[in-house]
Structure 1
């Protein structure tokens, strides 16, 4: 006897409706919306970061007020503002809504400090007075900093160029790169590399795990110290035990290179 087949058109139609509804949701409801909002403030002395995956750009302009531009990408309803000002501190925050990301661009007068925490977003700051920032997987790019720099980055990389003050920087698997440094430097990296160049003679304390360490210094007298495990040590600068400037350069399995500018 032949096997009978029972047709169920209701199930087929229902399945088609569900598939169609899924397509409508995917193409319609979940489309990203974009918005840009601008605010201006007076009497701001410091910027505090509490951001997530969004990028932050801070740059100095010929201005006497602080301008904040929020660049939003979101779904459903537009989120509320992601910045506040309290006691002369501008606080930049992540979005408080689902499916939301915000990038901040801030134009400031000279003399402002930047501090706080980043998630996976990046920070670019140019011309500010000082920076004290902790970053997760985001990158940090700094230039023309008139004061001190303190950085703690995870898997992201950090670049700091043209810094007048002292630098204290630590990285996990990220790299640290410094150019035109005029103050003392303390730098430590786990599996990342460190590459430093001094504009003026000064003290350097630097340590790497499995990454390479490279330091370039200007003419001057230096006391060179440090240990290297399984890596190579190439020193083109002689060590003077009476020198006022100390270069303490350590590595585990990475190479150490010390040379003149």
Structure 2
């Protein structure tokens, strides 16, 4: 056979080999990514319960449920990789013996130190359960609870709703969203937005290194600090407010009859106070509109606002 005829045959064989390899790899990856498992456990508790959750990666959902019972559902995932040899055995072992321990009224869900394996948790607890979470990476959803919460995620969003206890929530990189919060709350994000909705006069502390802060329905004291981002606050002031942003705008909306003392300053920007409020201000208003100090409707709790670069709007 001539060399000219051999060359197309070699090319066809090479293409066929590559195509076969791609098909085999696709089948292998599809099989590997299908490795997963699940488990359910139920624990009985008397009185107040304490729940601790520690995860490397995976989402966590905790909801208020029936008294006296903690119900845990776990879904095991194996991350994508070229080869998952032995992972099925590890998944089956976790199904039989998940990392959950009970000691009296305390329940602890521990870290899983297995490569490329994560667990998503969905947990129902009595409404008066105290909850503490530590997650390296993953979202957390907490709702319908009335006890103290201490929540932390290295990277992930935190969504909270219908809580009445004292709440401490931190994320290194992610957003914090909280609605219908009746107790005091401290929310900190290294990088991410913070959105809070209060329904009583609980104290609010909010800080983000890079992101926006939006707070609605507040009627208690407030400390809000954004390294880089806007701050928007709406509510009826019943305590002192201190608001800072190094780079961003500040917008404050209060009821028409609100009584407060105002200290508002911007280094580079303008302080804007709606005419209906300006008419009752007793104090100083700089011509540059970068500083206003005075009493509104006779005065009351202090609103102290400062932005390094941005406008301040009170209305």
Mark the runs of 5 or more structure 2 residues left unpaired by the alignment: 7-13, 79-83, 237-254, 282-293
Instruction: String of CA shifts for 1:65-119, please: whole Å, max 9, x gaps.
Output: 1100011123523142132223522222343322212110011111112223122
What's 1:251 paired with? 307
Show CA shifts across 1:210-248 (max 9, x none): 200011112443344464444554556776498664444
Determine helix, strand or coil for the equivalent of 2:191: coil
Which residue of structure 2 aligns with residue 164 of structure 1? 182
Q: State the Cα deviation string for residues 143-171 of structure 1 (Å, max 9, x = none).
A: 11111111221220001112222111211
Q: Please, what TM-score do these two structures have when normalized by structure 1? A: 0.80
Q: Which structure 1 residue ranges, 5 or more long, are not aligned?
A: 6-11
Larger radius of gyration: 2
Question: Per-residue CA shift, 1:12-64, capped at 9, x if unaligned?
Answer: 9xx98988875664344x23322221111122612212112211111112443
Structure number with the higher helix fraction is: 2
In the TM superposition, what is the alpha-carbon distance from 1:198 to its structure 2 partner? 2.9
Distance in 1 separating the partners of 2:34 and 2:269: 50
Corresponding residue of 1:183: 202
Secondary structure, counterpart of 1:71 in structure 2:
strand
- Provide the C-alpha distance between the structure 1 equivalents of 2:208 and 2:164, rounded to a whole number of angstroms: 24
- CA distance, structure 2, for counterparts of residue 225 and residue 147 of structure 1: 32
Query: Does the 8 A contact of 1:184 with 1:203 survive in 2?
Result: yes
Q: Deviations along 1:104-141, whole A, 9 cap, x unmatched?
A: 00111111122231222011011122221222220001
Q: Which runs of 4+ in 1 moved over 4 A?
A: 15-25, 231-239, 241-244, 254-259
Which one is further off, 39-48 or 243-252?
243-252
Query: Corresponding residue for 2:173?
Result: 155
2:60 corresponds to 1:48: no
Contact 1:118 1:136 survives alignment (8 Å): yes
Structure 2 vs 1, CA of residues 135 and 31 (structure 1 numbering), >3 Å: closer, same or farther? Answer: closer
Q: State how far apart, in whole Å, the 2-side matches of 1:60 and 1:117 are.
A: 19
Confirm or deny: 8 A CA contact 1:66 1:108 kept in the other structure. yes
Paired residue secondary structure (2:29)? helix
Aligned residues: 255
Where does residue 205 of structure 1 map in the other structure?
223
